[in-house]
Structure 1
Amino acid sequence: MDDLIIYASIGLRIVGVVYSILLLYRVEDARFGFLTAMLTLMTARQAATLQTGNPGIEELPGLIVSVFVVLTVFYLARYVEQEAEVQRTIRAKNDRLRTFRKAIEHAAHAIFLTDSDGTITYANPAVRTVTGYGRDEVIGENPSLWKSGEHDEAFYEEMWETILDGAVWDGQIVNERKDGTRTWVDMTIAPIVGDDGTVDQFVAVDTDITERRRRKEKISEQNRRLEVLNHTNEIVRDVNQALVQADTRSEIESTVTEEFANSGPYEFAWIGTRSVTSDSLRPRAHAGIDEATLATLQEGFNEDDEDPISTAVRTDTVQITPCASADGEWPTRLEASGCRAIAAIPLTYGETGYGALCVATDDDTAFESIASGVFSELGRTIGYAINAIESKETLMTDSVTELEFRIRDGGCFSTEMSAALECTLDLDWTTPTGNDSLIEYFTVQGADPEAVIDFADGYPALSDVQQISEDGESTLFRFDVTDSCVAKTLGEFGADLSEIHVEDGRARVTAHLSSGGDVRAVLEALQSTHGEIELLARREKERPKRTLQEIRATLDERLTDRQREALQTAYIGGFFEWPREQSGEEIASVMGITQSTFLQHLRVAERKVFEATLQPDEPESPETQ
C-alpha cells in the first residue's frame, strides 16, 4: 500500500513536470517555470525516499499535495490560455484603434469631436485644409469660430434640435475660413450616446465642396444661358416668320413686342422713337407692360440724355445695361417695375433708323449668354421689314406725308457743282444699280458740258459721268453716284422722291413719305450726311388713286435693276423717239455694256411693261422672269 502511494505520487509529479514543461515552452510564462522547478524537486525527493527504503503512510500527504499541484498546473494553464486570448483581443482592438486613428489623422475630411456643449475636444490635421485653422487653434473652441453669417439663426436651431434628439444631421453649409474667404462644406454631425442614454459628445465630418459647388453652378449657369439663347433664337425665328406675313409697320412692331413679352426670361418689350417736335421718347408699341408703368419709364428715359435707347439709336449698336451699373432716374424706375436689366436694339436699314426695340428682364445676367450680333441682326431684319412695308405703302397708299426741305450746305455733288459752275440742276430720274451705287439723271442748265464732265471726273463720290443729250442750254447727264446722296437716303426710308431743284449751291427737295413714317429719322439722316437741313413744309396729302402707281409698283417687283436701267436710259436718251436721238450702240456705251446685252435687257423689260399694262392680273410668265 505504501509503495502504491509512493509510485502514484511520483507518477503524478512526473506528469505535472512534463505538463508544466510543455506549458512553459508553449506560453513562455515564468509561473510555469516555477511550478516545473518545484515539481521536479518534489519528484526527486520522492524518488530519494523510495531509494532509502523508508517510505510509509506518511507519504499520503505528499500524494495529496502532488494532486493539488498537478491540478494547479492544469487550471493555471487554462487561466493562462484565457489570459492570452484576452491579450490577443486587446492587442487586436488596439491595432484597430491605431489603424482607425491613423485613418482619421490622414483623412482628407475634417473630423472633430465636441462635448455636449459644442466645445471641440479633438480635431484631425485636415481641419486646417477645410477651415484654415490648425488643430491646436480649434481645440477648446466652438465651431462657431468659422461661422460665416450666411445662414440665419433658424438654420442653426434646427441643426441643434436634430442632433440633441439623437439623430444625425447632414447638409451643406457656408463657412468662413481663417483668411476670410467663404467655402461650401458638406457636413455630417452624429451624436455619441453614453451608457446612461444621454448625448455626451458629437462627432462631425466636414468636406470642402467649394470646387464641386462652383462646377455645378457653372454647369447650371451654362444650361440657363443655353436655355435663354434657345428661347431667344426661337423668338428670332418666330419674328422672322411674322415679318413676312405683316402688312403694316404697326403689325410688325406689335408682333415683335408680343413675341418677346410672351417668351423666355423677358418680362416686357416696347419699341420707342424720338418725337419730331420734341426730343422725348415716344413708345410706338408695347407688350407685357401696362401704359401707366410704361409712361413712368418713359419719363425716366426722357430725363437722361445718355439712356440706352438714345445711345443705341445714335451709335447704331446694341446696348445691354444692368440697372445696377447704370446711373440716372430710369434704372430706379425699371427696378420698381420688377426688372433688373434692359437691352436696347436699334432698328435700322442701311443708314436709316426706325427707333429701338427695348427688352427688359428680371435677370441681370440673362443677356450675357446672347451675342450682341444676334440682337444686331434681328434689329436689321426688323428695320428691313419696316422699310419694305413703308416703301410699298408710299407707292400704293392714297395718304402720304409730303416733305419739302432745303439743303443749305454741301454734302452732295449736285449742290457743290451748282455752286462751283454757277448752274442749275433738276433731277429727272434715279435708278439703283444693286451694288450700293445709284444712277441719277440730271438736266443741267447754265454750264458748259465739258466743265460738268471735268467737275464730275474730279469728284470722289462720282465713279462715272455720261452726257446723254443736249437741247439748247440744257444738257442731260447720267451720274453714277457711289457715296450717300439725297435720293439714296430717302430711298432707305421708303420715301418717294418727287423733285430736286439745285441752284446757287442749295437744293430744294420734295419727297413723299408714307403716313405714319418717321419724319424725324428722315431729317436726322439727311442732316448727318448733307449738312444743314431746313424743313420748309410738311403736308398730309390725299393722293388720287392712279393706276400708274399700281403699274409702277408691279414693275418694281418684276424688273431687275439692269432691266430697269436699260429701259430708263433708253427712254431718257431718246431711243424710242422717231427718228431716234441715240442708237442702241450709243445707249449701250453709256451703260458700259455691249449692244447685244443692252438689247436683251431692253426686250425683256419691254415685255414686262406690256404684261403689267395689258395683263395686270396675270401671273408673270417663266420666260420673262
Structure 2
Amino acid sequence: MNAIILASIGLRVAGIGYSLVLLRRSGDRRFGFLTVLLVLMAARQVLTALGSTGTGLEELPGLVVSGLAVLTVHYLSRYVEEEAAVKRELRSLNDELAVFEKAVEHAGHAIFFTDPDGTITYANPAIETVTGYAPETVVGRNPRLWQSGEQDDAFYDRMWETITDGEVWDGEIVNQDASGELRWVDVTIAPVTEDGDVERFVAVETDVTDRKERQLRIEEQNERLSRLNRVNELLRDVNRRLVTATTREDVEEAVTDRFADDPWVVTAGVVDRTASGRLRVRYATADGDALETLVDDGEDALATITAGIDHGRTGTTQCVTVVDDVAAVGVVPLSYRETTYGALVLGARDATLFEVLRHDVRVELGETVGSAINAAERRRELVDERVTELTFSVDDDADPLFDLAAETACDVELTRTTTAGADDRVCFVSVSSDDSEAVVAATEAVDGLSVPTVVSATDDECLLRVSMTDPLADTLATHGATVAALTVDADEARGRLVVDVPGGDVRPVVQALDGQFETCTLVSRQDRERPVETADSFRDELTTALTDRQLEALRTAHLAGYFEWPREHSGQDVADMMDISQSTYMQHLRAAERKLTAALFASDDDGRSLATA
C-alpha cells in the first residue's frame, strides 16, 4: 500500500471524525450525510488499496477528493455557524417584533402607519377610543377622516411640509370623532426613511380633551380673576377720587377720567337731557367725538342710552357699527333715591369690560356716583345765593289736599310742614271755611290725613294741624327744593304750586313733580337772588322789632331759667326782678314771644308762606 493511498484514507478518516464532532455539536443532519459519504469513500479507498498493484499515482485524484471532502466539512461547519447566528438574530428580532406588536396592540395611544401618500396601512385598536372609528374601517383611508375644521389648510400644509422633509412634527389638534364631538388630541408624526427617502409615516395620537379643558378652565379663571382685580382697582380709584370731589363737575370728571385710563375703554362721558328734552354730553374724555357720535347717530346704542337716562336702567349693547373701535356700549344710570343725574356712558373695545363689570356692580357704581353728585349739589345749594322759583299748575284727585278741597268745597292752602316722625309730617293747612267742625270731619274722611286739630278759626278761615304721610315736601327735600306755596282752588279743582330750587338745575325737580301729581304743568320760571340772613342780622331785626321793656323781659326770663324745665324761677320771681307786677311782666313777655315766633314762622317779604321748616 503506497503513501498516496494511506494519505487519502487518513484524510477521509479525519473528515469522518471532524464531521461526527460537528454533527454532535450542531445536530445538523447535513453533517450526518457527509459522515456517511466519507465512510463510504474511505471504505472504497481501503478496498482499492488492498487490491492495487500499481504505483499508486492513479490514486492521486482520490487524495485530492479526500482533501476537498475535509474542506467541505470545514466550510459547511462555518456556514452552519453563520446560519445559526442568523437564526438567533432573526429569532431575537422576531421576539422584539412580537413585543413591539403586542405593545402597539395594547397601547393606550392611537398608533397608525401610513404610506408616503398619507393612506393608512395599519391602525391599532386604541384608535377607536381616540377617533371613534374601528381600526379596520380606517385602513385604506386618509386621516382627514377626523379633521374638525378648527385648523385651517395652512396649518396642515405646514405639518405636511415638516414630515415630508424628514422631520418629526408634534402638537395639539382639535379633531372630530365619529359621533361629531370635538376632541383635543396630542399628535406626534414621525417619518420612516430609507436612504433619505420617506417610506412611511407613523403617528401617535393621545386624547387630551379632559386635560385641555381643565387647562382652559384654569386659564379662564385666571383671566377672570385678573379682570376682577382690574375692575376692583378701577372701582377703588373711582371711590378715592369721589372723596375729594366737591362739585358735580368734579364728580363727573373723576369718574369718566378714571374709566378713560383703562385700556378696555375707547370713550367715556356723562350724558343727560336738557330742560327741553334734548340729549347732551355734559362731560366726555378720551375720544370725546366718539361719544358725541354715539349720542347723535348711534342707532344701536341710542335705545340703551335713553333707557338709562329716562328710566334708570343699566344696560349694554354689542351692536355698535357707527364708531370705529367701539364694539360695545355700557350705560350706568347715576341715581340717588328717585333722582337720576344722567348716565355714565362707556364705549368699549369689546364686551369683556361689561362681563366683568356686572349688572349689580354697575347699579352699585351708579348709586355711589349719584350719591356723590347729590352731596355735591347739597353743598352747592348751601352757599349758592341763586334761587329758581318754579310755578306749576297741578291736578291730582288722589292727593290728600285736593281730596280735602273736594270734601269741604273750599279752597285749601298748605302753609307749613314740619317733621313729626319717621313716616309722618305735621302739616298746617288753611281751609277757607267758618265751620271748623265740618272741616275736621271732612279731614278725618280723607286718606293720607289724620289727627286733625283746629289751631285757629276765624269768620273766613280755619287753620288745621294734621299729620300727612308721604307729603310733597319730602319729595322735594331730596333735591334740596322747598315748597314756597301750594293752594288748591275748589271751584276749578286745580292747584297752584310754587317751588324754590337752589341753583340752576331744575330738571330733577320737574321730573319728581311729574311723578308726584297726575297732572303737572310748568307755568313760569323766575330766577332771583336768595337773601342771605345771618344770625347777627336776624338778631338785629328782632331787637329792632322789640321794645326795650319786651327785650328786657325776654332776656331776663332766659337768664333766670324761666324757660328751663323744671323752671328755676317762676313768672312772679322774674316780675319781682324787674320790679313790676306779674300781669305786666307777662304782657311784655307774651308780646316779645309773639314777635320772635313771627320772625321765625311768618311769611317772607314776598308773601310766600315758607311751607317747609
What interval of TM-score do these two structures reach, taking the shorter chain for normalisation?
0.7 to 0.9
Deviation of 1:397 (Å): 0.2
Change (3 A) 1:459 1:239: farther
Deviation of 1:403 (Å): 1.8
Change (3 A) 1:502 1:523: same
Deviation of 1:446 (Å): 4.2
Residue 282 of structure 1 corresponds to which residue in structure 2? 280
TM-score, structure 1 length as denominator? 0.71
Change (3 A) 1:524 1:205: same
Q: Name the aligned partner's letter for residue 307 of structure 1.
A: A
Question: Within the alignment, does 1:494 sit opposite 2:480 as a pair?
Answer: yes
Counterpart contact for 1:114–1:122, Cα < 8 Å: yes
Pairing of 1:199-598 with structure 2 (within 5 A): 199-263=198-262, 265-278=264-277, 280-291=278-289, 293-300=290-297, 307-323=303-319, 331-333=320-322, 336-423=323-410, 424-431=412-419, 435=422, 437-446=423-432, 461=448, 465=451, 467=453, 469-470=455-456, 472=458, 473-479=461-467, 481=469, 484-504=470-490, 506-517=494-505, 519-547=506-534
Change (3 A) 1:186 1:20: closer
- Partners of 2:148 and 2:125 lie apart in 1 by 21
Q: Name the aligned partner's letter for residue 241 of structure 1.
A: R
Could you tell which deviates more after superposition, 390-399 or 129-138? Answer: 129-138
- Partners of 1:550 and 1:417 lie apart in 2 by 39
| Percent of aligned pairs with the same amino acid | 40
Q: Name the aligned partner's letter for residue 509 of structure 2.
A: V
Deviation of 1:450 (Å): 6.4
- Partners of 1:139 and 1:420 lie apart in 2 by 98
- Partners of 1:140 and 1:190 lie apart in 2 by 19
What SS does the aligned partner of 1:202 have? strand
Q: Name the aligned partner's letter for residue 292 of structure 2.
A: A
- String of CA shifts for 1:332-379, please: whole Å, max 9, x gaps: 32xx33122222122211112212222222122332233322111111
Pairing of 1:44-55 with structure 2 (within 5 A): none
Counterpart contact for 1:407–1:532, Cα < 8 Å: yes
Deviation of 1:237 (Å): 1.6
- Partners of 1:357 and 1:142 lie apart in 2 by 58
- Partners of 1:299 and 1:457 lie apart in 2 by 54
What SS does the aligned partner of 2:222 have? helix
Deviation of 1:416 (Å): 2.5
- String of CA shifts for 1:417-463, please: whole Å, max 9, x gaps: 33323452323133385x5x35243233346666666666666656x
Deviation of 1:249 (Å): 0.8
Q: Name the aligned partner's letter for residue 334 of structure 2.
A: L
Counterpart contact for 1:352–1:525, Cα < 8 Å: yes
Deviation of 1:408 (Å): 0.4
TM-score, structure 2 length as denominator? 0.72
What SS does the aligned partner of 1:113 have? strand
- Partners of 1:17 and 1:122 lie apart in 2 by 49
- Partners of 2:498 and 2:27 lie apart in 1 by 127
- Partners of 1:169 and 1:95 lie apart in 2 by 30
Could you tell which deviates more after superposition, 250-259 or 265-274? Answer: 265-274
Deviation of 1:128 (Å): 4.5
Could you tell which deviates more after superposition, 176-185 or 61-70? Answer: 61-70
- Partners of 1:217 and 1:460 lie apart in 2 by 63
What SS does the aligned partner of 1:307 have? helix
- Partners of 1:582 and 1:452 lie apart in 2 by 37
Deviation of 1:396 (Å): 1.8
- Partners of 1:148 and 1:180 lie apart in 2 by 9
Change (3 A) 1:416 1:220: farther
- String of CA shifts for 1:231-261, please: whole Å, max 9, x gaps: 2222222222222211211111111111111
Could you tell which deviates more after superposition, 368-377 or 153-162? Answer: 153-162
Residue 21 of structure 2 corresponds to which residue in structure 1? 19
- Partners of 2:376 and 2:209 lie apart in 1 by 56
Change (3 A) 1:456 1:204: farther
- String of CA shifts for 1:434-493, please: whole Å, max 9, x gaps: x5x35243233346666666666666656x646484354443425252xx4321221222
Change (3 A) 1:398 1:339: same
Q: Name the aligned partner's letter for residue 520 of structure 1.
A: R
Counterpart contact for 1:163–1:190, Cα < 8 Å: yes
Change (3 A) 1:2 1:417: farther
Q: Name the aligned partner's letter for residue 500 of structure 1.
A: L
- Partners of 1:338 and 1:304 lie apart in 2 by 15
Counterpart contact for 2:111–2:204, Cα < 8 Å: yes
- Partners of 1:230 and 1:219 lie apart in 2 by 16
- Partners of 2:507 and 2:347 lie apart in 1 by 26
Aligned residues: 536
Counterpart contact for 2:295–2:302, Cα < 8 Å: no
Residue 192 of structure 1 corresponds to which residue in structure 2? 192
Counterpart contact for 2:170–2:187, Cα < 8 Å: yes
Deviation of 1:533 (Å): 0.9
What SS does the aligned partner of 1:332 have? coil
- Partners of 1:355 and 1:259 lie apart in 2 by 18
Change (3 A) 1:171 1:432: farther
Change (3 A) 1:21 1:487: same
Change (3 A) 1:360 1:216: farther
Change (3 A) 1:82 1:304: closer
Counterpart contact for 2:425–2:471, Cα < 8 Å: no
Change (3 A) 1:425 1:242: same
Counterpart contact for 2:300–2:317, Cα < 8 Å: no
Q: Return the index of the structure with the highest Cα Rg.
A: 2
Counterpart contact for 1:16–1:39, Cα < 8 Å: no
What SS does the aligned partner of 2:396 have? coil
- String of CA shifts for 1:512-559, please: whole Å, max 9, x gaps: 334342x333323322243211112122333244436999xxxxxxxx
Q: Name the aligned partner's letter for residue 167 of structure 2.
A: A
- Partners of 2:156 and 2:467 lie apart in 1 by 84
Deviation of 1:73 (Å): 5.7
- String of CA shifts for 1:71-94, please: whole Å, max 9, x gaps: 766654554343233222212222
- Partners of 2:405 and 2:564 lie apart in 1 by 27
Structure 2: stretches of 5+ with no match in the other structure: 539-556, 568-613
- Partners of 1:182 and 1:65 lie apart in 2 by 79
Change (3 A) 1:411 1:32: farther
- Partners of 1:55 and 1:215 lie apart in 2 by 100
Counterpart contact for 2:148–2:182, Cα < 8 Å: yes
